[in-house]
Amino acid sequence: MNVNRRVQTLDEFTIQQLRDFPQATGELSHLLRNIGLAAKRVNVEVNKAGLVDILGDAGTVNVQGEEVKKLDVYANDQLTRVLQHGIACAGIASEELDDFVAFDDAKSVKSKYVCLFDPLDGSSNIDVNVSIGTIFSVYRRVTPIGTVVTKQDFLQPGNQQVAAGYVVYGSSTMLVYATRRGVNGFTLDPSVGEWTLSHPDIKCPERGKIYSVNHGNFFQYDDNVRKYINVCQNKTKADGGPYTQRYIGSMVSDVHRNLIKGGIFMYPGTTDRPKGKLRLLYECNPFAFIMTVAGGKATNGKIGILDIEPTELHQRTPLYIGSKLMMEELETYLAP
Ligand code: AHG
Ligand code: MN
Ligand code: MN
């Protein structure tokens, strides 16, 4: 087979980006490479998920006598292990772990970055063969290099992110990541196991026709949100419509589609859960960063997601995210 050398790999791309910064150490490239490696391993298991019934349910012992782990636990272990053994990450926080983990070995305490992630997002969709994802967020630590990281390193507002990204395990597997310089998407070439640049310099269209929200919660949303949903339902051609409603229930896939096609995704607070469902640090912040770099917007209905000062690792926030002009229209309803 001929390898197409016109396409750039993830490694080539990140190293080339470094050439403009002679003082850069290359640690971020290493970190992204390691996340890409963990994601490839997760991808292999996600593709086998349909075989779980044959090979053994999660929590049982499979035919090889190995314990079958839940995929979210497996993904969490892979990411944690790969980052711990790498040379760029001093600690992690994860949806799957109550507290952050500081890597206290001699190599890791000298690393510059901390990483927060949702190892498997949309995991209730695994059983029914619907796309799921991994979400990650990278910060430069605020404590001195050479010391063990503390909670302070993880509780930084989203506007301090150095990079953020996600992986969609979909009809193809894609890794999309953003730095302040831009958003780029890499598709996994399964024949050679390489991430190849397929979506350079992603920009979110200023307007789209898609709105994504859980309509089942409609009567639990406040009046302003309901009014805006009615606006979406009543858009005419003259008005930039008609809109179409799309909601997979996997945030990664829903926001990925809207990022590429243009659209708006909402997870408002409900009467039962005034802060909604989604987590600020490893679900909302990374997407808010990516969307903002791509030209879109993200708010909690009152302030920009990236400006929220976090107080807890697992705190939740309402989320409204998407195309710039659609977000501006939504904001006239949320803060009339
Ligand atoms: P997770 O699988 O990590 O718990 O997250 C699932 C999230 C998110 O992906 C999705 O947008 C949302 O849950 C869907 O929630 P509802 O079913 O309440 O709409
Ligand atoms: Mn999630
Ligand atoms: Mn999850």
pLDDT by 10s per residue, the chain, length 336: 455 567 899 999 999 988 888 788 899 999 999 999 999 999 999 988 766 655 555 666 655 565 556 888 999 999 999 999 999 999 999 999 999 999 999 999 999 999 999 999 998 888 788 899 999 999 999 999 999 999 999 999 999 999 999 999 998 999 999 999 999 999 999 999 999 999 999 999 999 999 999 999 999 999 999 999 999 999 999 999 999 999 999 999 999 999 999 999 999 999 999 999 999 999 999 999 999 999 999 999 999 999 999 999 999 999 999 999 999 999 999 986
Residue 43 and residue 46: Cα distance in Å, rounded? Answer: 5
3-state helix, strand, coil in the chain (%, to 5): 40, 25, 40
CA 106 to ligand 2 center in whole angstroms:
32
Q: Please provide the DSSP assignment of 253-319 as one string.
A: HHHHHHHHH-EEEEE---SS-TT-S-BIIIIIHHHHHHHHHTT-EEESSSSBGGG----STT-B--E
| Type of residue numbered 246 | R
Omega into 144 within 30° of 0, i.e. cis?
Answer: no
Mutate to test the pocket of ligand 1, among 70, 94, 124 (most ligand atoms within 8 A of CB): 124
Question: 209, 212, 193, 172: which is closest to 1 by C-alpha?
Answer: 193
* Contact present, 168 and 252 (Cβ < 8 Å): yes
CA distances from 310 to 101, 159, 313, 315, 322 (A): 18, 11, 8, 8, 22
Which domains does the chain carry? 10-199 (3.30.540.10), 210-334 (3.40.190.80)
| Type of residue numbered 58 | A
From the CA of 79, the nearest ligand is 3
Mutate to test the pocket of ligand 1, among 73, 132, 250 (most ligand atoms within 8 A of CB): 250
Q: Which is the closest atom of ligand 1 to the Cα of 95? A: 3
pTM: 0.95
Ligand 1, CB cutoff 6 Å, lining residues: 95, 118, 121-124, 214, 249-251, 254, 277
